[in-house]
Protein backbone atom coordinates (compact mmCIF):
# COMPACT_ATOMS: atom_id res chain seq x y z
CA UNK A 1 0.00 0.00 0.00
CA UNK A 2 1.34 3.41 -0.86
CA UNK A 3 -0.34 6.56 0.37
CA UNK A 4 -4.02 5.61 0.65
CA UNK A 5 -4.95 9.23 1.42
CA UNK A 6 -6.42 11.87 -0.87
CA UNK A 7 -8.05 15.25 -0.23
CA UNK A 8 -11.21 14.59 1.77
CA UNK A 9 -9.79 11.49 3.50
CA UNK A 10 -10.13 11.15 7.22
CA UNK A 11 -7.41 9.25 9.07
CA UNK A 12 -6.06 8.70 12.55
CA UNK A 13 -2.48 9.94 12.85
CA UNK A 14 -0.26 8.52 15.58
CA UNK A 15 3.42 8.63 16.48
CA UNK A 16 4.64 5.20 17.56
CA UNK A 17 7.75 3.67 19.08
CA UNK A 18 8.96 1.59 22.00
CA UNK A 19 6.07 0.89 24.37
CA UNK A 20 6.09 -0.91 27.74
CA UNK A 21 9.72 -1.95 27.17
CA UNK A 22 8.89 -3.55 23.80
CA UNK A 23 10.64 -2.15 20.70
CA UNK A 24 8.48 -1.12 17.74
CA UNK A 25 9.69 -3.91 15.45
CA UNK A 26 8.66 -6.52 18.06
CA UNK A 27 5.26 -4.83 18.47
CA UNK A 28 4.71 -4.92 14.70
CA UNK A 29 5.63 -8.61 14.52
CA UNK A 30 3.30 -9.40 17.45
CA UNK A 31 0.39 -7.41 15.95
CA UNK A 32 0.76 -9.18 12.59
CA UNK A 33 0.65 -12.53 14.39
CA UNK A 34 -2.48 -11.42 16.26
CA UNK A 35 -4.16 -10.45 12.97
CA UNK A 36 -3.26 -13.83 11.47
CA UNK A 37 -4.60 -15.72 14.51
CA UNK A 38 -7.61 -13.61 15.57
CA UNK A 39 -8.51 -11.74 12.38
CA UNK A 40 -7.66 -8.39 13.97
CA UNK A 41 -5.36 -6.77 16.53
CA UNK A 42 -5.79 -4.05 19.13
CA UNK A 43 -3.18 -1.26 18.87
CA UNK A 44 -2.96 0.21 22.38
CA UNK A 45 -2.55 3.88 23.21
CA UNK A 46 -3.24 6.44 25.94
CA UNK A 47 -4.15 10.10 26.30
CA UNK A 48 -7.43 11.85 25.67
CA UNK A 49 -6.80 13.40 22.24
CA UNK A 50 -8.28 10.27 20.63
CA UNK A 51 -10.87 9.18 23.19
CA UNK A 52 -12.59 6.01 21.86
CA UNK A 53 -16.24 6.94 22.43
CA UNK A 54 -16.26 10.72 21.94
CA UNK A 55 -13.60 11.09 19.25
CA UNK A 56 -12.47 8.01 17.29
CA UNK A 57 -15.74 6.09 16.97
CA UNK A 58 -17.91 8.97 15.67
CA UNK A 59 -15.06 10.29 13.50
CA UNK A 60 -14.37 6.86 11.97
CA UNK A 61 -18.04 6.08 11.35
CA UNK A 62 -18.51 9.41 9.57
CA UNK A 63 -15.52 8.89 7.26
CA UNK A 64 -16.30 5.21 6.62
CA UNK A 65 -19.77 6.32 5.42
CA UNK A 66 -18.10 8.81 3.06
CA UNK A 67 -15.01 6.88 1.96
CA UNK A 68 -15.66 3.22 2.80
CA UNK A 69 -12.37 2.82 4.69
CA UNK A 70 -10.45 4.66 7.36
CA UNK A 71 -6.76 4.26 8.08
CA UNK A 72 -4.37 4.60 10.97
CA UNK A 73 -1.23 6.30 9.63
CA UNK A 74 1.78 5.93 11.92
CA UNK A 75 5.03 7.84 12.15
CA UNK A 76 7.80 5.97 13.95
CA UNK A 77 9.79 7.92 16.53
CA UNK A 78 12.25 7.39 19.34
CA UNK A 79 10.23 6.63 22.43
CA UNK A 80 11.11 6.26 26.08
CA UNK A 81 8.01 4.41 27.26
CA UNK A 82 9.78 1.86 29.44
CA UNK A 83 7.24 1.41 32.23
CA UNK A 84 6.51 -2.18 33.16
CA UNK A 85 2.78 -2.73 32.86
CA UNK A 86 0.34 -5.60 32.75
CA UNK A 87 -1.63 -7.05 29.88
CA UNK A 88 -5.24 -5.86 29.54
CA UNK A 89 -7.77 -8.69 29.81
CA UNK A 90 -11.04 -6.88 28.99
CA UNK A 91 -12.28 -4.43 26.37
CA UNK A 92 -15.39 -2.25 25.98
CA UNK A 93 -16.85 -0.22 23.13
CA UNK A 94 -18.69 2.12 25.51
CA UNK A 95 -16.72 2.00 28.77
CA UNK A 96 -19.64 0.30 30.53
CA UNK A 97 -20.14 -3.18 29.05
CA UNK A 98 -16.98 -5.30 29.16
CA UNK A 99 -15.92 -8.49 27.40
CA UNK A 100 -12.82 -10.65 27.46
CA UNK A 101 -9.99 -9.84 25.05
CA UNK A 102 -9.44 -12.96 22.91
CA UNK A 103 -6.35 -14.97 23.87
CA UNK A 104 -4.14 -14.30 20.82
CA UNK A 105 -4.52 -10.53 21.33
CA UNK A 106 -2.27 -8.69 23.76
CA UNK A 107 -2.64 -5.04 24.78
CA UNK A 108 0.04 -3.87 27.21
CA UNK A 109 0.29 -0.60 29.12
CA UNK A 110 -2.68 1.17 27.50
CA UNK A 111 -6.08 2.60 28.44
CA UNK A 112 -7.46 2.50 24.91
CA UNK A 113 -6.88 0.56 21.70
CA UNK A 114 -7.60 0.94 18.00
CA UNK A 115 -9.01 -2.14 16.27
CA UNK A 116 -6.90 -2.84 13.18
CA UNK A 117 -7.65 -5.33 10.41
CA UNK A 118 -4.18 -5.26 8.82
CA UNK A 119 -0.78 -3.67 9.31
CA UNK A 120 1.61 -2.75 6.48
CA UNK A 121 4.91 -0.90 6.26
CA UNK A 122 4.71 2.14 4.03
CA UNK A 123 6.73 5.16 3.00
CA UNK A 124 5.01 8.44 2.25
CA UNK A 125 4.61 11.87 3.81
CA UNK A 126 1.50 13.65 5.01
CA UNK A 127 1.59 17.44 4.71
CA UNK A 128 0.33 18.32 8.22
CA UNK A 129 -0.17 21.93 7.07
CA UNK A 130 -2.76 20.51 4.67
CA UNK A 131 -4.78 18.77 7.42
CA UNK A 132 -7.25 19.86 10.07
CA UNK A 133 -8.47 18.31 13.29
CA UNK A 134 -11.78 16.70 12.30
CA UNK A 135 -13.57 16.27 15.64
CA UNK A 136 -13.66 17.68 19.16
CA UNK A 137 -13.05 21.10 20.64
CA UNK A 138 -10.05 21.64 18.31
CA UNK A 139 -12.07 20.96 15.11
CA UNK A 140 -10.69 22.98 12.21
CA UNK A 141 -7.30 23.62 13.81
CA UNK A 142 -4.47 23.00 11.33
CA UNK A 143 -2.76 19.66 11.90
CA UNK A 144 0.71 21.21 11.94
CA UNK A 145 -0.36 23.47 14.83
CA UNK A 146 -2.04 20.61 16.71
CA UNK A 147 0.57 17.83 16.43
CA UNK A 148 3.22 19.42 18.64
CA UNK A 149 4.93 18.82 21.93
CA UNK A 150 3.16 16.04 23.81
CA UNK A 151 0.29 15.77 21.29
CA UNK A 152 1.22 12.71 19.24
CA UNK A 153 -2.11 11.55 17.80
CA UNK A 154 -5.18 13.05 16.18
CA UNK A 155 -8.26 12.43 14.06
CA UNK A 156 -7.40 14.44 10.93
CA UNK A 157 -8.87 15.29 7.55
CA UNK A 158 -6.64 15.86 4.52
CA UNK A 159 -7.49 19.04 2.60
CA UNK A 160 -6.92 20.12 -1.02
CA UNK A 161 -4.74 23.04 0.07
CA UNK A 162 -2.91 24.37 3.08
CA UNK A 163 -5.21 24.89 6.07
CA UNK A 164 -6.01 28.45 7.03
CA UNK A 165 -3.75 29.44 9.92
CA UNK A 166 -1.20 26.67 9.33
CA UNK A 167 2.45 27.40 10.02
CA UNK A 168 3.75 26.10 6.71
CA UNK A 169 5.57 23.09 5.39
CA UNK A 170 5.41 20.60 8.30
CA UNK A 171 5.30 17.02 7.05
CA UNK A 172 4.94 13.71 8.85
CA UNK A 173 6.80 10.67 7.52
CA UNK A 174 4.41 7.69 7.52
CA UNK A 175 6.09 4.34 8.10
CA UNK A 176 3.12 2.08 8.94
CA UNK A 177 -0.49 1.97 7.81
CA UNK A 178 -3.36 -0.06 9.24
CA UNK A 179 -6.98 -0.30 8.14
CA UNK A 180 -9.31 0.35 11.08
CA UNK A 181 -12.20 -2.04 11.73
CA UNK A 182 -15.53 -1.48 13.48
CA UNK A 183 -15.86 -0.40 16.33
CA UNK A 184 -12.55 1.38 15.50
CA UNK A 185 -11.53 2.15 19.11
CA UNK A 186 -12.18 0.53 22.48
CA UNK A 187 -11.44 0.93 26.16
CA UNK A 188 -9.12 -1.72 27.68
CA UNK A 189 -8.34 -2.77 31.25
- 57's enclosing H/E stretch is helix 57-67
In the chain, where are the structural domains located? 10-188
Calculate the dihedral angle through the C-alpha atoms of 83, 89, 90, 95, rounding to the nearest 10 degrees.
-20
H-assigned helices in the chain:
24-38, 57-67, 143-146
Q: What are the pLDDT tens digits along the chain (189 aa)?
A: 678 999 999 999 999 988 777 889 999 999 999 999 999 999 999 888 999 999 999 999 999 999 999 999 999 988 765 566 789 999 999 999 999 999 999 999 899 999 999 999 999 999 999 999 999 999 999 999 999 888 999 999 999 999 999 987 789 999 999 999 999 999 999
Q: Is the pTM of this model over 0.85?
A: yes
Amino acid sequence: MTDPLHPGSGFVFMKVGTHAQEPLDAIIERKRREIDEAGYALWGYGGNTCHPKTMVQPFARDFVEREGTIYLCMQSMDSRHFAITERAVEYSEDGENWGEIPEPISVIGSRYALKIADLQPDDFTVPLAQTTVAIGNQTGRPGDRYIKGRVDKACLELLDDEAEGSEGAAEAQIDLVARLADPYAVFVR
